[in-house]
Amino acid sequence: MATEEELVRAIKKLLSGEAPGVVVPIGDDAAVVEPGEHQLVITVDTLVEGVHFDPDVTQPSDLGYKAVVVNVSDVAAMGGSPRYAVISLGVPPDTRPAWVIEVYGGMREAAEDYGLALVGGDTVRASECVLTVTVLGTVAKGRAVTRSGARPGDRIVVTGALGAAAGGLRLVRGRETDTRRAVMTDWGRQLVGALDRPAARVGEGETLAQAGASSMIDVSDGLALDLSRVCEASEVGARVVLDDVPVSPLLDELASAAGVEPLDLALHGGEDYELVATLAPEAVEAASRKLLDRFGTRLTDIGEITETGFVAVGEDGAERPLEAKGWDHFG
């Protein structure tokens, strides 16, 4: 392994320190930035080898890219705009410097895609790879959308389609010959791509905030679990129409190939990084039109916020309890 100083020099070259608002870039005791008269949105997320990714199947650049995007998604879910990121990367001492540089390269790529500056990085020795990214965003004063504002009567809306990332995970973890073959198909590659290179809905989040979203969250642990968090924080219930949940069409092929239930992945799979928001009924149509016009993103009404209860409505119109299970890192 290169010395810390050599590595820091190589990483410094990779990081974009000349972005607007960056007063002191990486390389000093701390970075200095100037966000202007906004409120700041702060979020942190960690990806651990063996828990969140498998270094044998995940490309280092994808790892870096995703570590940034999952945080950008949290900023988007507040209605904010990402601005700055700081990194901490722990790697085993026998890690190839090229691998570390590729991780930073992926982070830089995500930073460029989402217009944020990587302003700090700490690389330390660890017995496994642990990548922690902190992202700072800005939001207009008083305009952050929390989880706790949903009101009975609000419609529940979701961006894009759900379940593809969980389908990708199923494929890369699958040991059967059939699923391993599926990774090589067009739809298989797209499913794995949804897992490795998720997209954060930044513009969509800002637009939903402007449209008056009363609450918002990103789907990191599955629609059911994440929506249950909104209900808990807002002290309300929810009624989800299963037929209306937008399931990724990429899952059709996987369903025939591997016998999985697409709706199950959409409800409980996680890592989609779509946004779930609550809106007054009269605001849904205009918001849908804006999302489609501006970003080509579909917004789907999947049910309503109720006083109490957490239920799914089936094809037959009957209500059943919706299980708030999903991806629990300690489960």
Note the residues at the interface with a second copy (CB under 8 A): 1-5, 7, 23-24, 27-35, 37, 39-46, 48, 50-52, 74-75, 77-78, 80, 84, 86-88, 90, 93, 119-122, 124-128, 130, 132, 134, 136-137, 139, 141-142, 144, 146-148, 216-218, 233, 328-331
State the Cα–Cα distance between residues 34 and 307, nearest whole angstrom.
Answer: 43
Closer by beta carbon to a second copy, 74 or else 102: 74
Closer by beta carbon to a second copy, 105 or else 149: 149
**What is the DSSP pairing of strand 310-313 with strand 237-241?**
parallel
Give the 3-state secondary structure of residue 128. coil
CB of 34 to a second copy, least distance (A): 5
CB of 245 to a second copy, least distance (A): 21
Closer by beta carbon to a second copy, 129 or else 305: 129
Closer by beta carbon to a second copy, 118 or else 191: 118
C-alpha distances (whole Å) from 173 to each of 50, 54, 155, 192, 293 are: 12, 9, 36, 11, 37
Q: What are the CB-based long-range contacts (under 8 Å, 24+) for 39-42?
A: 39/138, 39/139, 39/140, 39/141, 39/142, 39/143, 39/144, 40/136, 40/137, 40/138, 40/139, 41/75, 41/78, 41/80, 41/136, 41/137, 41/138, 41/139, 41/144, 42/134, 42/135, 42/136, 42/137
Q: Are 145 and 79 in contact (CB under 8 A)?
A: yes
Closer by beta carbon to a second copy, 41 or else 254: 41
Closer by beta carbon to a second copy, 179 or else 228: 228
CB of 303 to a second copy, least distance (A): 21
CB of 325 to a second copy, least distance (A): 11
CB of 246 to a second copy, least distance (A): 21
CB of 190 to a second copy, least distance (A): 27
- Dihedral sign (CA 110, 116, 119, 124): negative
